[in-house]
Amino acid sequence: MKLIKFTVLATLFLAVFFASIGFNVLIHESAHYATADVYGFHPAMHLGETDMSVASFFSAESDIAYVQYMPDANSRSREALIAAAGPLANLALAGLAFVFYAKSNNQISSLIWLILLTTSFVSFGVNILPISPNDGFYIWQAVL
């Protein structure tokens, strides 16, 4: 009976973990899209490229989802704001997940909110790094 309970919990954990990553990617890219649209850059969102391998899925330059737009010549500060929108959306999602985690009253809901909190915060942390192709790289370029 303990093995069945563990298997169910492990399956739940993996399902929530991968769903959380997908949700973070969607929120992140939607924030880029919305910000680029506000500035009139006519963005296009690309989701789920079909020719990806498992190795490319986990690489830093994977094309799981991305937003393309055409900025004008004098838009460096606006491009930095577009780049910052994605990580800030992940940070906001982490904050929201923390509120629900703090208010959860059972172990299963606590686990779900903790997974969303963790993946959102890690997504923020990775994307804000000033290393290409991360968003932090483009923010840093605009500052310099």
Q: pTM of the predicted model, to two decimals?
A: 0.83
Q: How far apart are CA 25 and CA 123, in angstroms?
A: 8
Name the amino acid, one letter, at 133. P
129 closest CA partner among 90, 78, 73, 72 = 90
Q: What is the pLDDT along the chain (144 residues), one digit of tens a residue?
A: 677 777 888 898 899 999 999 999 999 999 999 999 998 888 888 776 655 554 444 444 556 677 888 777 677 888 899 999 999 999 999 999 999 999 999 988 999 999 999 999 999 999 999 998 899 998 998 888
H or E element, residue 63? none
Q: How far apart are CA 112 and CA 123, in angstroms?
A: 17
Structural domain including 6 reads 2-143
Question: What is the number of domains present in the chain?
Answer: 1
